[in-house]
Structure 1
């Protein structure tokens, strides 16, 4: 980076610079005439972060990576006529953004005192600066909204099991306490159905893990499709699944569990085998929220009921 002359002796016109558009007056020209013009080679850093300065691109382009987005890979491209560093001058603070030449370029350097003088003495400069800052605020807000939407998308993605598409334990840990609290507050019932595919290890050992994954995904789809839109299907872990039934008492929950048990028993996993869930059925345990129970004890109650269904011979429901 080296000084190649003063702006007044350069070939560049004031009217081509966004900050001075409609402010191309003899007074502004006189103030800018002695400002240095520097040449920066491609990939060379421009700002050392120790001084507040305004840089206006005369030729080439700059890349600016905001300090708040460090490491994110998001770089703003500054083209001829555009400027960078206004905020640092207005804040009277060091510019912490990483500024690098994306190609060989020439820059007009305006010191803070001179910029303030231009703002005070040229109405057009003040208007252009306000317009520029307003545009950047809008752009920053739009970027923030996009990041929020993307963050919500990935958050939702992290709440689903990749194999079955059902909600996962992370989702359950977030949502079940809220459902229990809502049930208590509204005085409405809440039931769980814990579902375990019988002898699933044997199925995996016989048909292989790829076939086991297909069977598990099929069983999950059966459960999801058999529930109401207001119900929730969760992969609790391994071959253990769960149905959460808001506004559902124990009697209705037992009916839902019976329907799930029957549908799983009848579902064909592999069309070419012509058998219903080969060597796979399900044991189901039902529990409803009782007075004084929290989400953990509710899950434990459903799990205990599931264990009783297994002890009774599997392929059945228990409460």
Structure 2
């Protein structure tokens, strides 16, 4: 950055500066006349090392990014174009300017010292109004960006909680949601059951017919699981070929009926039509567990897993419970 003269000796006028519109041009021009104009080369960075100054871009443009080390990581970058200013807030609150300013192209910047800014505010109601409008606009813009970022964050958060292949909830969702569901059911004295599902002979299917057939089987099973459950239930891909149904307000008897419905519908779902496989459908083994005193989420899952293991050991395509 190098000094190339003063505002009074430059071709720029007060009308070029947004902050000074609707002010007394002659008096403001006289006050700004000795202010230095600096040239900043493209790619050069400016960071305040002393008292904050007000900069007005006369030509070129600046990228302005707050210092994330000094403040929040939730920060917003802006581009400052000719006539626009940067550094007002730091001057007003007399704080060190933490913003990093980078020239997007060769720039000329008018530098106004903080004492002069305050004298001009005292002398000009127009400047004070312009500052208020500018700060109000920036607050609105930052709030709008924050809302968009929050919506985007929620979108990606939801993506992170769903299995990309089947669309079911994943283990991350389960680890967070199941303890809360259990706590809520206990608080209200309501039952809760889970059904563990494992697709039969899935490894053999993958090894023999490839992962495309395996993915088709998983998606078909997920669709059966999702469609056969009540609106208050939750379908989860637990891992690999294992899935889970979480059944709030369902005791052992109702959970067994839901598991049987799932088993029947899985057998009826045509998955491999036209793929020349021995059977056009898939089957699954089911383990059912109901919340009991002393069981937490991990113990409940372990109980359902033991029941599932017994179903597989007993010949598959069947349901076992913890009893």
Normalized against structure 2, the TM-score is what? Answer: 0.93
| 1:11 pairs with 2:14 | no
Kept after mapping to 1: 8 A contact 2:51/2:96: yes
2:158 counterpart (144, 156, 159):
156
Q: Secondary structure at the match of 2:163?
A: coil
Query: Which piece of structure 1 moves more, 53-62 or 277-286?
Result: 277-286
> Over aligned residues, Cα RMSD in angstroms?
2.1
Residue 302 of structure 1: aligned partner: 304
* Deviation (angstroms), 1:96: 2.0
1:231-264, Cα deviation, whole Å (9 max, x unpaired): 1110111111000111212111111100110111
Q: Decide whether aligned partners of structure 1 residues 159 and 49 sit closer, same or farther in structure 2, where only a CA change above 3 A counts.
A: farther
| 1:176 pairs with 2:181 | no
Q: Partners of 1:168 and 1:101 in 2: how far apart?
A: 45
Counterparts of 1:205-284 in structure 2, within 5 Å, are 205-273=207-275, 278=280, 280-284=282-286
Q: Partners of 1:266 and 1:105 in 2: how far apart?
A: 71
Residue 91 of structure 2: aligned partner: 89
1:175-232, Cα deviation, whole Å (9 max, x unpaired): 0001001101111221101001111111111111222122111111111111122111
Kept after mapping to 2: 8 A contact 1:3/1:37: yes
Query: Which piece of structure 1 moves more, 26-35 or 174-183?
Result: 26-35
Q: Secondary structure at the match of 1:230?
A: coil
Q: Decide whether aligned partners of structure 1 residues 127 and 238 sit closer, same or farther in structure 2, where only a CA change above 3 A counts.
A: same
Q: Partners of 2:278 and 2:192 in 1: how far apart?
A: 32
Q: Partners of 1:235 and 1:49 in 2: how far apart?
A: 54
Kept after mapping to 2: 8 A contact 1:215/1:277: no
Q: Partners of 2:203 and 2:217 in 1: how far apart?
A: 12
Q: Secondary structure at the match of 1:273?
A: coil
* Deviation (angstroms), 1:282: 0.6
Kept after mapping to 1: 8 A contact 2:271/2:281: no
Residue 63 of structure 2: aligned partner: 63
Kept after mapping to 1: 8 A contact 2:269/2:281: no
* Deviation (angstroms), 1:26: 2.8
Residue 46 of structure 1: aligned partner: 46
Normalized against structure 1, the TM-score is what? Answer: 0.94
| 1:204 pairs with 2:206 | yes
Kept after mapping to 2: 8 A contact 1:14/1:24: no
Q: Secondary structure at the match of 1:9?
A: coil
Residue 315 of structure 2: aligned partner: 313
| Unaligned segments of structure 2, at least 5 residues | none
Kept after mapping to 1: 8 A contact 2:307/2:320: yes
Residue 132 of structure 1: aligned partner: 134
| 1:287 pairs with 2:289 | yes
